[in-house]
């Protein structure tokens, strides 16, 4: 029975009905993660990357109060042009957006919820949200983490954003029983860099190995999985450069009193500026890399692929 608040794009609905591979994609990266027009160009490139690897893309958003699993190119362009004017939509925001018929760009958590409602099990993003630095005082913890504990979607990412406290992020995931799988790596990647110095729970060297663990996870219970896919070597940035830019951006955010949902977009924009635009190019490259892996995993999970 169709969900009363959900619209599934016809191509996506057909693929799901035929048990063909589908990959969910978030829309916060369109509205809040990159400047226009790179955001729209990147979103369309990511969809093309999913298709090139044999799966159907389903970009997720909330448009005029409707949960959308799959967007048209025109809808993606509309989100990109609106940019930060669009609500950044996580779990707590969805009921209000639906009831007021508003528009929102979904975060990792928001995308997971809509993907699960649509029956999509694999989702590609850039970097995972997590425990912010100083969370011992602020309690600033991304809603992405508790979502992973309860929603049965695999999130393919380049680790967690390097602006976060990565050790505490992994501690949180461990406490809530969320497996962290490394694709061809023994260490957790840190978004722009390949090595955070922290271990993953299990290394997998093929999409088939990842798919086997996902089937077991969902066969044993409920909840998500983190698939950590390091940024390609050619795009990886020196850890010292990113750490220095991050420290400066964090200091500026504190000085300006930036808190809550505004923190991550501000920090990413400042890190990009402080690195002379290099981090934006790396961001685009790692998202494309994650889309390709997600399509391979979705194909490995598909009974008809």
Measured in degrees and rounded to the nearest 5, phi and psi for residue 292 equal -65, -45
| Token pair recorded at residue 235 | 């795009």
List of domains in the chain: 6-237+286-301 (3.40.1790.10)
* Residues with Cβ within 8 Å of residue 221, at least 6 apart in sequence: none
**At how many degrees (to 10) do helices 278-301 and 38-52 cross?**
30
CA distance 107 to 29: 8
Question: So what's the pLDDT on residue 178?
Answer: 98
| Token pair recorded at residue 103 | 């528009």
Angle at 298 between CA 148 and CA 6, to 5 degrees: 65
Question: So what's the pLDDT on residue 222?
Answer: 85
CB-neighbour burial class of residue 151 (10 A; exposed 0-12, middle 13-18, buried 19+): buried
| Token pair recorded at residue 158 | 């380049």
Question: So what's the pLDDT on residue 245?
Answer: 86
Cα-based distances in Å from 96 to 2, 30, 101, 103, 303? 21, 21, 8, 10, 37
What pairs with residue 156 in β-bridges? Answer: 124, 227
Question: So what's the pLDDT on residue 1?
Answer: 62
Is the distance from CB of 27 to CB of 38 less than 8 angstroms? no
Catalytic residue numbers read: 26, 161
pLDDT one digit per residue (tens) for the chain, 305 residues: 679 999 999 999 999 999 999 999 999 999 988 889 999 999 999 999 999 999 999 999 999 999 999 999 999 999 999 999 999 999 999 999 999 999 999 999 999 999 999 999 999 999 999 998 888 877 889 999 999 999 999 999 999 987 789 999 999 999 999 999 999 999 999 998 899 999 999 999 999 999 999 999 999 988 999 999 999 999 998 888 888 888 898 889 889 988 776 777 787 778 878 877 777 788 899 999 999 999 999 999 998 65
Cα radius of gyration (the chain): 18
C-alpha 162 chain-centroid distance? 14
Question: So what's the pLDDT on residue 273?
Answer: 82
CB-neighbour burial class of residue 212 (10 A; exposed 0-12, middle 13-18, buried 19+): middle
Where are any strands of DSSP class E within the chain?
Answer: 6-8, 22-25, 56-63, 66-69, 87-89, 104-106, 122-124, 154-157, 180-183, 202-204, 225-228
């Amino acid at each position: 029975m169709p969900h009363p608040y959900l619209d599934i794009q016809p191509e996506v609905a057909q693929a799901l009905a035929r048990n063909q591979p589908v990959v969910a994609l978030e829309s916060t990266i369109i509205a809040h993660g990159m400047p226009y027009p790179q955001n729209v160009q990147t979103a369309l490139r990511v969809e093309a990357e999913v298709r090139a690897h044999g799966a159907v893309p389903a970009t997720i958003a909330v448009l005029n109060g409707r949960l959308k699993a799959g967007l048209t190119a025109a809808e993606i362009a509309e989100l990109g042009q609106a940019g930060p004017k669009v609500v950044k939509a996580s779990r707590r925001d969805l009921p209000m957006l639906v009831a007021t018929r508003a528009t929102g760009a979904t975060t990792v958590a928001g995308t997971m919820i809509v993907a699960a409602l649509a029956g999509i099990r694999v989702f590609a993003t850039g970097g995972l949200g997590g425990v912010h630095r100083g969370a011992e005082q602020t309690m600033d913890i991304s809603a992405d983490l508790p979502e992973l504990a309860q929603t049965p979607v695999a999130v393919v990412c380049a680790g967690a954003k390097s602006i976060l406290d990565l050790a505490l992020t992994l501690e949180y995931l461990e406490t809530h029983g969320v497996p962290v799988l490394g694709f061809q790596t023994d260490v957790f990647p840190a978004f722009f860099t390949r090595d955070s110095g922290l271990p993953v729970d299990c290394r997998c060297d093929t999409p088939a190995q990842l798919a086997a663990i996902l089937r077991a996870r969902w066969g044993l219970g409920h909840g998500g999985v983190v698939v950590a896919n390091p940024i390609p070597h050619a795009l990886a940035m020196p850890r010292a450069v990113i750490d220095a830019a991050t420290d400066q951006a964090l200091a500026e955010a504190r000085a300006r009193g930036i808190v809550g949902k505004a923190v991550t977009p501000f920090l990413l924009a400042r890190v990009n500026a402080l690195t002379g635009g290099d981090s934006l190019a790396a961001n685009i490259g790692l998202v494309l890399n994650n889309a390709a892996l997600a399509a391979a995993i979705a194909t490995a999970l598909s009974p008809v692929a």
